[in-house]
Structure 1
């Protein structure tokens, strides 16, 4: 993995597929993959082989996650967005002749969506021409005063009491907390169907992988980050950064799942409506899938990669 040092002295590790192949890989258009809470760049391992055929994939370990530094500060989505900005700037070449080297695509999963929304609010949507948001509501907490209730918010992590309970479990038994997250994020655990074909060995392998990645982080730090993440309301910010009048031309694909243990699909799908609201040109598309859960890119990597590549190529996105 490659690494860079942030302005607050934190080392961020990242995958760069442009350095893994021949010189032609360095010239491919750039694609950023941003993982979610307690994950790492390794969660994209099933997607990178397909996506890297056409793109130079950059996949960071967020601070506090994976092999990046485990600092005691920076547990805010805003700081993670600043880290993303610093990473993007590493690849800026003002003398680049090829325009495709100046344009990025991005995929955010869960927390990764919030990081992209924050990035857009702070730095505009440039240089990203396309963004994919995977199964994340623009507000995790319940807010009945605006009609944002169980139909849209996080299924369980949606109020102060739930957050406090989660932080306590993280402190006393982090593995227990992480296993709960895993159970909510894989469709065959959250909403099992008779047609699910995972073997016992595959289920064990999945749990061991995600638990191993999660346990790399500091439980106290995770708890602080979740407190920030759940409290942030991105609804108006998304309209301001992506919607009519924003000046943004970035195209958006929102993917939600009917089998996510984290969100009812209506929650994440509202993001497309926020981008398109009042616009003559509808730049946001939405797809609701049934074959994967919150981590649908892990459960259906071929389908997921195909949808992303269709979207990046400005083709019709078809779920199959």
Structure 2
């Protein structure tokens, strides 16, 4: 276990795998209420080709559990500070669920100078039906929660039934074929996120609108959807169509097309990564083809 402390005093737990001499670095970002441990099963395979970085975002897993910083923008700043701490000048990034939102926020705040490519996994560009979204547009982008629903959802993680709410929410994201042992392990990881901090972060997360960021993404991007995910796969198609040159891969129910794909076998996750756009190596995307060939 390694740690570093952010500028606002939050100690983050991170893990490095693979050789420091690897040509490419891959940074993995977990979702809300998850942890870097979600990637443990695929990291050994990935580390054959990459220097792999995984970390617990603030409030999650083994990182500090502060009372401040429950905002996507702060998590994006944490990522920037981690990259600086590790002297990472260029990397590929994969973000699952809220991790994708952190990546969009990072691009919005810091640009793409350090970003070689992106993998966006199962995250709508807007989750809540905001005042400027008409119902038809909201459905297309994946916004399915209205303001009262968002309030009730966040409050539910603070109430007397919070434990069962969190369990039910977790189950809604998983394939029905998951073992009881894996489900219990995931649930215990979920419970490491404090309800108060988690509720505030969740509200900030689901109130964001990243649609204006998508057309400005200027790196090879793969958008991953699940046919039976609780995130409407049509919303992932909508996002992919607005990211210049992005590719979309929708996994069927038979392929395990539900969220948390990192719990699948390493070979299956490798298949997801291998679908990144096969752009020719160029000044804009140096080494991209070499990256994809080794996946």
Question: TM-score higher than 0.5 here?
Answer: yes
Distance 2:59 2:251 in 1: 31
Match of 1:40 among 29, 35, 53: 35
Deviation at 1:311, TM superposition (A): 2.6
Deviation at 1:178, TM superposition (A): 1.6
> 2:96 touches 2:121 (CA, 8 Å); kept in 1?
yes
1:271 match: 239
Query: Kindly tell me: are residues 148 and 310 of structure 1, through their superposed partners in 2, closer, same or farther at Cα, counting changes over 3 Å?
Result: closer
1:13 match: 13
Distance 2:93 2:274 in 1: 11
For residues 255-294 of structure 1, the aligned pairs below 5 Å read: 255-261=224-230, 263-276=231-244, 282=245, 284-290=246-252, 291-292=255-256, 293-294=258-259
> 2:222 touches 2:275 (CA, 8 Å); kept in 1?
no
SS in 2 for 1:26: coil
Distance 1:174 1:55 in 2: 39
Query: Kindly tell me: are residues 300 and 3 of structure 1, through their superposed partners in 2, closer, same or farther at Cα, counting changes over 3 Å?
Result: same
> 1:169 touches 1:176 (CA, 8 Å); kept in 2?
no
Query: Kindly tell me: are residues 66 and 154 of structure 1, through their superposed partners in 2, closer, same or farther at Cα, counting changes over 3 Å?
Result: farther
Deviation at 1:255, TM superposition (A): 0.5
Deviation at 1:310, TM superposition (A): 5.1
Task: Let me know the Cα RMSD of the aligned residues.
Answer: 2.1
* 1:217 maps to 2:204: no
TM-score where L is the length of structure 1: 0.80
Deviation at 1:146, TM superposition (A): 6.8
In the TM superposition, what whole-angstrom CA distance separates every residue of 1:159-215 from its partner, at most 9, and x where no partner exists? 222222223321123321221221221132xxxxxxxxx3xxx52112211110111
Distance 2:107 2:194 in 1: 28
Deviation at 1:151, TM superposition (A): 4.6
Match of 1:90 among 85, 90, 96: 85
* 1:252 maps to 2:239: no
Q: Which one has a larger percent helix, Structure 1 or Structure 2?
A: 1
> 1:36 touches 1:112 (CA, 8 Å); kept in 2?
yes
Deviation at 1:300, TM superposition (A): 4.7
Query: Kindly tell me: are residues 65 and 274 of structure 1, through their superposed partners in 2, closer, same or farther at Cα, counting changes over 3 Å?
Result: same
Deviation at 1:83, TM superposition (A): 0.1
* 1:26 maps to 2:20: yes
